[in-house]
Amino acid sequence: MKQKVTLKIIAKEFDVSISTVSKALKNSNEISEEVREKIKAYADYYNYKPNSLALQLRAQKTSVIGVIIPEIVHHFFSTVIDGIEEHANKRGYNVMVCLSNESFEKEVSNISVLTNGSVDGVIVSIARETQKKEDYNHFEMLLKDGFPLVLFDRIVDSLKCDKVIIDDIGGGFKAANHLLEIGSKRIALLTTEDYITVGALRKVGYRKAMQSAGLEVDEDYVFKINDTKNLYRQIEKIFHLEKVPDAILAVNEIYAAIAMKIAIEKGYKIPEDIAVLGFTSGLISKFTSPPLTAITQHGYLMGQQAAELLINRIEHTGPKEFQKEVISTGIKIRKSTYIGE
């Protein structure tokens, strides 16, 4: 690459000092009209732009925020990043994305790389492996130094920092309630293993809804799916129950889509025989047949909120106490639970 033009080079060109060039380019009236103009012309011609590293080093501020997510090939996380970007840009920040790939080690190393001065703060959604290990030392180190940190979606309560979460309990409740309202009696729950908070919380909501309808939660109707094994085979077990459920509540859209597919193959009519409802994070729900009723998650909003909290923390605007924002879910009713029309 060609030498980038710097103040020094321009200064040498016109045989003036570096300060003169700097001031001329900033239109300071300490510098004569004449000198100013020729320097600006030269800088313009050679497309001078101040080196941001130098600026950042001097200002002790990068105007970059780091984001660490478990994976990017996931519609929900993409929407969150989109929201972060939008808000960050509006406030003059850029975004640096790192992926943990659900790995503890990679998360730790990402944190380490990002917090060595390259960013003013970080937003993170914790990796699975970290949640399983329950080792949050890398975060605690940051917080001890007062480094701006915002956790979203996959959070841990014990860490003293700003957080943004989806109202998963509310979502689970809303989901189960909808099924109860359309008359379902035996609602099967397709959820994740317990250590995955999101699944666990949605289950809590489901349980709450069942109880407030005066129904017992039969643990035989709760299926904890292991993502690393064959999904079809695990989900199919729903249909081995003595009394096949009249509704299925899945904590994500993949499980829901698969359950629906199996149900149809087995000759059940949806929603007449079995109603199906999922939590959506992508486009699948819209294109299954029948289209899937789903709890919607507003990742974009979540990203915006996270960015806002972080930048407020960085700039010391906003409250001193740590915030915990809760993003409420929506429900998009489609044909998989809706008879009539």
Partner DNA sequence: TATCAACACGAAAACGTTGTAGTGAATCCA
Partner DNA sequence: TGGATTCACTACAACGTTTTCGTGTTGATA
Give me the residues that bind a second copy (CB under 8 A), please: 1-2, 4, 47, 49-54, 56-57, 62, 64, 71-75, 78-79, 81-82, 85, 94-99, 112-113, 115-118, 141, 145-148, 254, 257, 261, 264, 282-284, 287-289
Whole-number Å distance between alpha carbons of 132 and 194: 10
Total residue count of the chain as it appears in this document: 341
Of the pair 117, 183, the CB lying nearest a second copy is at 117
C-alpha 297/C-alpha 274 separation (Å) is: 24
What angle (nearest 5°) sits at the alpha carbon of residue 221, between those of residues 218 and 225? 135
Backbone angles phi, psi at 265, to 5 degrees: -60, -35
Strands 94-99 and 64-69: parallel
By the rule CB under 7 A, 42 interacts with DNA: no
Asked if residues 149 and 155 have their Cβ atoms less than 8 Å apart, the reply is no
Residue number with CB closer to DNA (5 or 241): 5
Using a 10 angstrom Cβ sphere, with 0-12 exposed, 13-18 middle and 19 or more buried, the burial of residue 8 is exposed
CB of residue 56 to DNA, shortest distance in Å: 9
Residue 56 Cβ vs a second copy, minimum distance, rounded to whole Å: 5
- Enumerate residues 5-34 that contact DNA by CB under 7 A: 6-8, 15-20, 22-23, 25-26, 29-32, 34
Q: Which two tokens stand for residue 120?
A: 């003013």
Q: Which residues pair with 279 in a beta bridge?
A: 295
In the complex with DNA, the residue whose CB is nearer, 54 or 339, is 54
- Residue 47 interacting entry, from DNA, a second copy, none, C-beta within 5 to 8 Å by type: a second copy
| Smallest gap from residue 144 Cβ to DNA (A) | 18
Residue 22 CB partners (closer than 8 Å, separation 6+): 7
For tokens 């904590």, the residue is 251
Q: Of these partners, DNA, a second copy, none, which one is at the site of residue 23 (CB under 5 to 8 Å by kind)?
A: DNA
Question: In 3D, which of 175, 123, 111, 167 has the Cα closest to residue 149?
Answer: 123
Nearest alpha-carbon partner for 92 in 254, 311, 277, 297: 311
Nearer to DNA, 16 or 264 (CB): 16
**Which is closer to DNA, CB of 57 or CB of 339?**
57
For DNA, the closer of residues 6 and 323 by Cβ is 6
CB of 10 to a second copy, least distance (A): 16
From the list 226, 228, 236, the residue with the least C-alpha distance to 188 is 236
Q: Report in angstroms how near the CB of residue 18 gets to DNA at its nearest.
A: 5
The minimum distance between CB 128 and DNA, in angstroms, equals: 33
Residues that bind DNA (CB under 7 A): 4, 6-8, 15-20, 22-23, 25-26, 29-32, 34-35, 48-51, 53-55, 57-58, 60
